[in-house]
Amino acid sequence: MAWRGLHLTKPSRLSLKDGQIVVAQEDSEVRLPLEDLAWVVLDCPRTTLTATLLSACMAAGVAVVATDETHTPSGVVLPFHGHFRQGAVAHAQAAMGQPLKKRLWQAIVRAKIENQAAALETLGRDGADTLREMARHVGSGDPDNVEARAARFYWGALWTEFRREDGGDRRNKLLNYGYAVARSGVARAQVAAGLLPAFGLMHASVSNAFNLTDDVLEPFRPFVDLLAWRTAGDGRPSREDLSLDDRRAMAGVLLADAALGAEAVTLLVAAERAAESLVRAIQRNAAELLELPRLSA
């Protein structure tokens, strides 16, 4: 069972041998069982890999994340659907009614806001109780757009002089890096469960191949926020680029601790459980079956 990720920041030559990924760097070589890996981040432009390895990664369900010239994740390679009941799951997803979509979205938004409250509480920031009260008022489909109102309050409580749309702010760079890695984990889990990531609940962009992924990602975001705050601290806006240590920290977000019911799991396992439970919720027309990660304060 996959339980770890690989973040490559130095020139590397990647290949496959005896079911292991071989990472050759200068005069050293490391081998890792492919079955242990859930994701690989290629964070160096001078990294090469063989087609045989890429094919093996797809067969093993490993998400391969590429970065651009600024070291920001820019794309993810995922396997074609290989679930043993792919057709049945896809038909059930496509036939999902609007009432179920709305109830699922309600559960997702509530979980996101409650996790935002837990993040503030964990960091000793004010506002957790206000967010929890907002979460109570999220209706089916969130017709009053509580999610957006909670987000405005949350960002103001989390950081000073912060604007989410300021792409040059180091804090946003940290967030975007972590969100991309978390997104790859959620997408990987959905594909493995037989879901079609393009068909969303509330996200419905015709140009987005990951609408469902972006729906389910919402409760995972506060885990990224917490890690970004701990990496950046409660500072003023900074125009600095992300350091190697910054990128390493955010690349490991899928190993963050989360709670599912009474269980303690990693965010990676939470993504897998969320995808599997979403399939059950769709098949049984029961939104209450959806399992989402909880950030414990």
pLDDT at site 257: 97
pLDDT at site 199: 95
Answer yes or no: do 59 and 174 share one domain.
no
Whether 296 maps to a domain, the answer reads: no
Nearest to 222 by CA among 139, 158, 132, 130: 158
Compute the mean pLDDT over every residue in the chain, rounded to the nearest whole number: 94
Check: CB of residue 295 under 8 Å from CB of residue 226.
Answer: yes
Cα separation, 115 vs 227, in Å, equals 13
First to last CA, the chain: 29
Residue 103 in this model has a pLDDT that exceeds 90 = yes
pLDDT tens-digit map of 206-228: 889 999 999 999 999 999 999 99
Three-class SS of residue 14?
strand
State which of 57, 77, 97 marks the end of a domain. Answer: 77
Whether 94 maps to a domain, the answer reads: yes
> What tokens were used for 277?
């439970």
pLDDT at site 19: 93
Whether 294 maps to a domain, the answer reads: no
Q: Containing domain of residue 68, as a range?
A: 4-77
Tell me the percentage of the chain whose pLDDT exceeds 70.
99
Check: CB of residue 255 under 8 Å from CB of residue 285.
Answer: no
pLDDT at site 45: 92
DSSP 160: S
Nearest to 188 by CA among 59, 53, 79: 79
pLDDT tens-digit map of 149-208: 999 999 999 998 899 999 999 999 999 999 999 999 999 999 999 999 999 999 999 889
Residue 125 in this model has a pLDDT that exceeds 70 = yes
Residue 9 in this model has a pLDDT that exceeds 70 = yes
Count structural domains, the chain.
2
DSSP 294: B
Given pLDDT bands bounded at 50, 70 and 90, which one contains residue 81?
Answer: low
pLDDT tens-digit map of 69-78: 889 899 999 8
pLDDT at site 84: 60
pTM: 0.94
Residue 254 in this model has a pLDDT that exceeds 80 = yes
How confident is the model over 108-114, as a mean pLDDT? 98
**Residue whose token pair is 């969130």:** 142
Residue 236 in this model has a pLDDT that exceeds 80 = no
Residue 82 in this model has a pLDDT that exceeds 70 = no
pLDDT at site 27: 82
Answer yes or no: do 14 and 141 share one domain.
no
Amino acid at 170: R
Which comes out higher in pLDDT, residue 104 or 261?
Answer: 104
Answer yes or no: do 14 and 142 share one domain.
no
Check: CB of residue 166 under 8 Å from CB of residue 237.
Answer: yes
Which comes out higher in pLDDT, residue 238 or 57?
Answer: 57
Residue 231 in this model has a pLDDT that exceeds 80 = yes
Answer yes or no: do 97 and 48 share one domain.
no
- Interior CA angle at 198 toward 196 and 204, to 5°? 135
State which of 77, 100, 118 marks the end of a domain. Answer: 77
State which of 60, 77, 94 marks the end of a domain. Answer: 77
pLDDT at site 296: 87
CATH no. for residue 246? 1.20.120.920
Beta bridge partners of 32: 21
Check: CB of residue 9 under 8 Å from CB of residue 41.
Answer: no
Whether 132 maps to a domain, the answer reads: yes
